[in-house]
Amino acid sequence: MGEDKEPTIFDKDIHTDFLEKMTYGDYLQLDSLLSSQKRLSGHHDEMLFIIIHQVSELWMKLILHELEASIVLIKKGELSLAFKMLARVSKIQSQIIQAWDVLSTLTPAEYMEFREKLGQASGFQSYQYRMIEFKLGYKTKHVLEIYKKDQKLHGELLEAYKKSGIYDAAILALSRAGLDIPDEVLNRDYTSPYEYQQSVEDAWITVYKNVETYWDLYELAEKLIDIEDWLQQWRFRHMKTVERIIGHKKGTGGSSGVGYLKKVLDHRFFPELWDVRTKL
């Protein structure tokens, strides 16, 4: 028998010498990323809990990246470029929703083994989630108190709290298309949660009844509906996962837990876009 030969599994041109070159791990900073899972207990399932939340935060970072850019584009009137970004946001949301299915493999008995190690830390304190709410027009000043520990972060959140959101940009697009939007709506106090406006509903009704004339605005409306729809599905899966794991206990951050999560399901970010379906 001849000598055993190592099977050829790689293309001969694949690079293998990285002594002085950047690798995949270098580019993604994997040393830092993969060493960021610090369990505070010795329990096996705490790793699942940490990774699910870290991955969700990474996806939220990308959502914010896309939302910020799309707001700028909508304000410039470059709607078609914003549509790709908004479609991407919806796809990202589907990934975050599916993460709840993985977390749901954590049983109540398993979670109780390390829950006390969380102290008062809670997903309620996710500043990126608050940023997303701000960009969608839901502003709550009292939550800013949570972040005073980090003055830089608090300043960034305060700035986002004062800015207009994506729905304000969409309403501006309605006005620029010649639809009647009063100045007080266009120049509203952005630090207040957006509330239903009859003039905005009338404008969207015109768009939906004249799709060919207002195709870009019609597509923008549907992209926004997609985002709110997926966000509400995320909220629902969040609520059911919490109920499945801890029942109706209070959250680690002090909220009422499932009770609080059920209440936020009633909130609408873009009320006229939902109401218009009844009026058509």
* Binding-site residues from annotation for substrate: 49-53, 111, 115, 252
What contacts 186, CB < 8 A, 6 or more positions away? 171, 172, 175
Distance CA 51, CA 103 (A): 10
Distance CA 30, CA 65 (A): 21
Binding site, by residue number, is 49-53, 111, 115, 238, 252
Q: Which amino acid is at 276?
A: V
The two structure tokens encoding residue 68: 């910020």
- Angle (CA) 263-265-271 rounded to 5° is 115
Binding site for heme, by residue number, is 238
With beta carbons less than 8 A apart as the criterion, state whether 216 and 81 touch. Answer: no
Q: Which amino acid is at 240?
A: K
